[in-house]
Amino acid sequence: MGAAVGLSAERRRNGIRAALVGVIVMLAATFAPGTAGAAPIYPAPDPDPFYLQPPDVAAKGPGDIFAARPMPPLPLFPGIEIRQLAFRSTDSQGRPIAATTLVMLPPNRAVDAPVLSYQHIVNALGLRCAPSRALYSTDQTVVIREAPALNGVLARGWVVTLPDHLGPDSAYGAARMGGQITLDGIRAVQRSADLNLGRSPVAMAGYSGGGMATAFAAALAKEYAPELRIVGVAEGGVPMNIRKMAEALGFAPHPLFGLAMAAAIGLEREYPEQFPLSAQLNPEGLGLRDQMANACTNDILALGAGRSVPQLAASTSLVNDPNAWSVADLNSVELYPGVPNMPVFEWHSPIDGLIPVDSIDATVRRYCAAGVPVLAEKYPSPDHMTTAVLGMPAAMNYLDARFRGEPAPSNCR
């Protein structure tokens, strides 16, 4: 759930609070009836048939490949060969879906080279905003921020896979599905015979919104993909508990309220029965929803600036809705009972104004108690995205040591 580049720390803190107001209000409560029968809005289909869900998707197993193709080179990654894979994954309801990932192949890679699954930060609703599309677009904001770290590991001979972890409906906020897509993307890379990576050691990394998918993939791996040889994971700035992020948040307008609406729309796409957002919006709310339906981060921020829940809802009379709360809980890593079956490097700021740090600490303690080797590092920066930059070199060095087979350090107490 990273904020836009260039915003001050205070605006980012206010903005994430704004985003969470909308997300959690929609999760935690049911508005009085608004536009009866209003259905969820989904992104416009991608015109490229490569992204289409094949009719026989249910006949495939998770991680099985539908299609593969070479991709044009990218100026941000000089000398790197790029492939794209379409593969079968699973949504939040356990249904088969089609998903995609880009695979970056350095020229100095070996057979069975180390593979890093890197989950980009994606705050978006349009399919054109997914990493595989954004990398080839004119809006390079997020990619530029993360390119130095990726070029660093590519120079080491690692193969990097970048899954479109928001899925075929760009369901922003559906973190558990993001974890499943991440794991299935790794499966697809290792099953692609011409890549020669079937026996590769694998690591995963991601920060903030990308960290949500990464952390869920780590927690799900033992159950969902036990055959994968994942040697380590690096997860930073992870919003571990959506429910806690709801507490003590009000209804005032905020500059970055667009992130709230985007996450609410994304969760309705993934949980239309449990989370009927559209039926609870007034005409102004539905209009804003429609404007955001295919938007990327910058447009979402512009459209939602200064908005608030009372402006968009049919009523501000709220009642507890167990079904909506269950959506929050299902996508909160802290509340998922499983633990990683690989060593974990975790980093965050102890004074991060964007995420509930106590949820990170509680999750780390639970993992430690279960015997998971966790190296948890704190970087004293008040700015969420600055912490990402500060911790990334240590995160990559940690994974490099896991690839080399060194014993995993731990500061569990």
| Whether the Cβ atoms of residue 117 and residue 182 lie closer than 8 Å to each other | yes
- Burial label for 8, CB within 10 Å (0-12, 13-18, 19+), is exposed
Plot region of 60 (φ>0 → left; ψ -120 to 50 → alpha; else → beta): beta
Per-residue pLDDT band at 286 (split at 50, 70, 90): very high
Contacts of 336 (CB under 8 A, 6+ apart): 176, 216, 219, 220
Plot region of 77 (φ>0 → left; ψ -120 to 50 → alpha; else → beta): beta
**Apex 236 CA angle, 166 and 62, nearest 5:** 35
Q: What is the pLDDT averaged over residues 279-287? A: 92
What the block records as the tokens of 386 is 């600055």
**Nearest Cα to 312, choosing from 337, 292, 298, 340?**
292
State the Cα–Cα distance between residues 102 and 263, nearest whole angstrom. Answer: 24
Per-residue pLDDT at 283 exceeds 60: yes
Backbone φ, ψ for residue 163 (5° rounding):
-75, 150
Q: What is the pLDDT of residues 378-390, one digit of tens each?
A: 998 878 888 999 9
**Which pLDDT does position 4 carry in this prediction?**
41
9-32+243-330 shares its CATH topology with 49-241+337-403 = no
**Which pLDDT does position 139 carry in this prediction?**
67
Q: Going along 270-343, which residue ranges are E strands?
A: 319-320
**Strand order from edge to edge, sheet including 115-119:** 65-71, 81-90, 96-105, 159-163, 115-119, 202-207, 230-236, 344-348, 374-378
> For the domain with range 49-241+337-403, which CATH number is right: 3.40.50.700, 3.40.50.1820, 3.30.530.20, 3.90.79.10?
3.40.50.1820
Per-residue pLDDT band at 211 (split at 50, 70, 90): very high
Instruction: Count the neighbouring beta carbons within 10 Å of the beta carbon of residue 232.
Output: 25
**Which pLDDT does position 143 carry in this prediction?**
65
Question: Looking at the domain that runs over 9-32+243-330, which CATH code has it been given?
Answer: 1.10.260.130
What the block records as the tokens of 363 is 């999750």
Each domain of the chain, given as residue ranges in start order, spans 9-32+243-330, 49-241+337-403
Per-residue pLDDT at 115 exceeds 50: yes
**Which pLDDT does position 70 carry in this prediction?**
98
- Burial label for 305, CB within 10 Å (0-12, 13-18, 19+), is middle
What the block records as the tokens of 50 is 């490569």
**Which pLDDT does position 10 carry in this prediction?**
45
Which of 14-23, 31-40, 266-275 comes out lowest in average pLDDT? 14-23
Per-residue pLDDT band at 186 (split at 50, 70, 90): very high
State the Cα–Cα distance between residues 30 and 408, nearest whole angstrom. Answer: 46
**Nearest Cα to 13, choosing from 249, 210, 332?**
249
Per-residue pLDDT at 311 exceeds 80: yes
State the Cα–Cα distance between residues 20 and 113, nearest whole angstrom. Answer: 40
**Nearest Cα to 205, choosing from 243, 242, 167, 231?**
231
Q: What is the pLDDT of residues 85-101, one digit of tens each?
A: 999 999 999 999 999 99
State the Cα–Cα distance between residues 350 and 97, nearest whole angstrom. Answer: 38
Bridge partners, residue 348, by sequence: 378
Residue linked to tokens 């507490």? 247
Q: Going along 164-251, which residue ranges are E strands?
A: 202-207, 230-236
3-state secondary structure of 41: coil
State the Cα–Cα distance between residues 382 and 183, nearest whole angstrom. Answer: 32
Q: What is the pLDDT of residues 354-377, one digit of tens each?
A: 788 999 999 999 999 999 999 999
Q: What is the pLDDT averaged over residues 324-349? A: 93
Backbone φ, ψ for residue 15 (5° rounding):
-65, -40
State the Cα–Cα distance between residues 214 and 120, nearest whole angstrom. Answer: 10
| Whether the Cβ atoms of residue 342 and residue 232 lie closer than 8 Å to each other | yes
